[in-house]
Structure 1
Amino acid sequence: MKQIRMKIANIHGLELGAHLRLPVDEKARTLAIFAHCFTCSKNLIAIRNISQTLTNNKIGVLSFDFTGLGESEGDFSDTNFSSNVADLIVVANYLKEHYQVPQILIGHSLGGAAVIQAAEQLPEIKAVITIGAPADAAHLARLFKEDLEEINESGEATVNIGGRPFTIKKQFLDDLNHNPASEVLKNLKKALLIMHSPQDVIVEIENATSIYQQARHPKSFISLDGADHLLSDKKDSLYVGNMIAHWASRYLDIQDEQPVSSERQVLTRTGETGYVTDILAGEHYLLADEPSSVGGTDLGPNPYDLLLSSLGACTGMTLRMYADRKRWPLKEVKVHLTHEKRHAADSQDCENPNSKLDHIDKVIEIHGELDKTQMERLLEISARCPVHRTLSSEIVINSSLL
């Protein structure tokens, strides 16, 4: 995905650090704004994974740090829930003016309570998604209930949240109590998706029940069974991103897009950090990455996996075409492939790694009521698939700069 770093001035002139992530062709069908959890930042791994799946579905995502957090200016102790909501509205208006109108608000934890409040003031928003959100902003006070007496008496206290110290002032608590969500939910004329884990020990599942019961239709609930509050398991955050993309498509005002045209068959983009690579093949979007063992995030197959996949797919398709033409009862083809570099059997230079040859082992598993002659014929035909022939012949690769 394409990532654009930007600074957005809030209502007090302080700069908010933000990232806008776009699809590989930079043509988002719509935009979403992601509001992160209390004291978190836009760089949370779960946010990146959710953004990746949304951009794969042609939804651009802007994530930002609230005032006083991450790369944003300001003093966190001077902020409150209302200022977070104000930051959200500023960001939405910035996108509307400089890019395109955002139609989706996504909020994680307290960010979920914030997007509910902000959506009421943003008429262009069509869909609101909460992830592990409290039913009311005042729920947050429970995180530092042991420090409430000091905050009320001294006006502030340093509290420990998530292993980090934060200064919380009395005005922060007062503001939480002045932002009830119940009235907003009853009058929220937006599609609402509530996502919550029954095992969430930070914001209990009862909060999701309360939000659902207070909200008006259209509203939906998806259980994130087994997930923790921060969606630490990559599978959970990827699942969240995919479900949001499919659910939101029902409610968005999106014009039918023109097919992407290019003089080339395939376009890839690798960003400034990590190895995650977007692939645009015709009108199809794919993802490549490296495993964590070599510094990647394992969000997709590595390049050699994709190469083997091409050979396996081409082999299966070729056998399917041949069997159909012959009217043979071929039920299924599975192609098992591995790639490695090996020394030739008669190599005289075994110590030199450059003397190794690329070897691809292709094992074909054929199912169907076929006799031995037919099976052997299919094995012969498998070597005639176009990708097999390309890889077996001399290849000329012409590289140039654009």
Structure 2
Amino acid sequence: MTETRWNQSNHERIDTSEIQQRRVVIENSHGEKLVGVLHDTGSTETVVICHGIHSSKDRIPMLTIANVFESAKISSFRFDFAGNGESQGSFQYGNYRREAEDLRSVLQHLRGENREISAIIGHSKGGSVVLLYAAKYKDVQTVVNISGRFFLERGMEWRLGKDYFNKIKENGFIDVRNRKGKFEYRVTEESLMDRLTTNTHEACLSIHENCSACNRSIRIRQIHKESQTVSN
């Protein structure tokens, strides 16, 4: 499909006729199928975009990021973590480290197609995931965290309700509903503890330690909008 867009930064027309979007299915380490979309500009340089909690690759932030890289003629890949969007698996409230392994499967697949991963970008929960990935694997030069929560033990009352810890201890789970009362997802004690035991600060320190042993430094970008509440 041919389309012409405006690049608002320099008011130039962008011809997208050479950009191809291709649906890609990748199997993770648990045998689940992860579904993603490759924005192929013809360049093997590729950035990978990770979504936030209970979200998907098709939400506006991920589409916007992909479009920005299209404008720069850089390929990108946005995908659904297991249990989200079109991907197989069950949604879990925690799963930070497991989602980092999903990201690992994606990067290995793309590198198998001779793509150079120039950056991993995470929005909201995805921001925490890319930091955990970088701390463990240190094989991506640029890591971008957009509005990822740093202290994961904070910010849960508005989503889970007051006294959520005692309630989940008593019942084994909490059902999260939207403002209209419609069920969205279940938070189990196991998934809650996964979040509470994920230490983003420790991961960030590990990235710096790893950098001193690398031949090239890892650039970390943390982007936050102070005036906006981030639900992750």
TM range (shorter): 0.7 to 0.9
Q: CA deviation at 1:166?
A: 0.7
**Which AA in structure 2 matches 1:41?**
S
Aligned residue for 1:155? 172
Change in 2 beyond 3 A, CA 1:182/1:148: same
Matches within 5 A, 1:279-318: none
8 Å contact from structure 1 (residues 158, 165) kept in 2:
yes
Counterpart of 1:121 in 2: which secondary structure? helix
What pairs up with 1:65-144 in 2 under 5 angstroms?
65-77=80-92, 80-139=95-154, 141-142=156-157, 143-144=159-160
Higher CA-based Rg: 1
Following superposition, the deviation at residue 46 of structure 1 comes to 2.2
Match of 1:191 in 2: 219
Task: Give the equivalent residue in structure 1 for 2:199.
Answer: 180
Match of 1:13 among 16, 31, 41: 31
Q: In the alignment, is the contact (CA less than 8 A) between 2:123 and 2:148 conserved in 1?
A: yes
**Is 1:112–1:132's contact at 8 Å kept on the other side of the alignment?**
yes
- Name the counterpart of 1:381: none
Structure 1 residues 239-293: Cα deviation after superposition (integer angstroms, max 9, x where no partner): xxxxxxxxxxxxxxxxxxxxxxxxxxxxxxxxxxxxxxxxxxxxxxxxxxxxxxx
Q: CA deviation at 1:34?
A: 0.8
Residue type matched to 1:12 in 2?
Answer: H
Q: Name the amino acid aligned to 1:144.
A: L
Q: Distance in 1 between matches of 2:155 and 2:108?
A: 27
Residues 59-109 of structure 1: CA deviation (Å, up to 9, x unaligned): 211111111111001111486222211111111111111241312110111
Structure 2 residue 76 is the aligned partner of structure 1 residue 64: no
SS in 2 for 1:111: helix
Residue identity matched to 1:32? V
**C-alpha distance in structure 1 between counterparts of 2:23 and 2:76, whole Å:** 12
Following superposition, the deviation at residue 151 of structure 1 comes to 1.8
Task: For 2:186, give the aligned amino acid.
Answer: T
Relative contact order: is structure 1 or structure 2 higher (C-alpha 8 Å, sep ≥ 6)? 2
- Gaps (5+ residues) in structure 2? 1-18, 212-217
User: Against the structure 1 CA distance between its residues 197 and 77, is the aligned structure 2 distance closer, same or farther, given a 3 Å change threshold?
Assistant: closer
1:79 and 1:36 map into 2 onto residues whose CA distance is 14
Relative to structure 1, the CA distance from residue 80 to residue 145 in structure 2 (aligned partners, 3 Å threshold; closer, same or farther) is farther
For the 8 Å contact 1:150–1:157, the answer to whether it is kept is yes
Secondary structure in 2 matching 1:139: coil
1:32 aligns with 2:47: yes
Give, in whole Å, the separation in 2 of the partners of 1:38 and 1:60.
Answer: 24
Q: Note the residue ranges of structure 1 that are not aligned, 5 or more in a row.
A: 204-228, 230-402
Residue aligned with 2:106, SS = helix
Q: Is the 8 Å Cα contact of residues 94 and 193 (structure 2) preserved in structure 1?
A: no
Q: CA deviation at 1:162?
A: 7.7
1:14 positional shift: 0.7
Q: CA deviation at 1:161?
A: 5.6
**How large is the Cα RMSD of the aligned pairs?**
2.1
Distance in 2, Cα, partners of 1:126 & 1:27: 18
Could you say which residue in structure 2 is the equivalent of 1:289?
A: none
Moved more, 33-42 or 92-101: 92-101
CA deviation map 1:181-202 (0-9, x unaligned): 1122123232111111121123
- Please identify which structure carries the higher helix content: 1
Read off the aligned partner of 1:33 and give its amino acid letter: V
Would you say how many aligned residue pairs link Structure 1 and Structure 2? 201
What TM-score, normalized to structure 1?
Answer: 0.47
- Does structure 2 retain, via aligned residues, the 8 Å contact 1:104–1:127? yes
**Aligned match of 2:3:** none
Quote the Cα distance in structure 2 between the aligned partners of 1:31 and 1:140.
33
Question: Given the alignment of the two structures, is residue 200 of structure 1 paired with residue 228 of structure 2, yes or no?
Answer: yes
The answer to whether the 8 Å contact 2:100/2:132 transfers is: yes
Contact kept? 1:132, 1:200, Cα under 8 Å: no
| In 2: Cα distance, 1:79 partner to 1:184 partner | 16
Name whichever of 179-188 and 5-14 sits farther off.
179-188
Which residue of the other structure, out of 187, 200, 225, is the alignment partner of 1:168?
Answer: 187
Partner deviation per Cα, 1:95-150 (whole Å, 9 max, x = no partner): 11124131211011111011000012333300111111111333363432434333
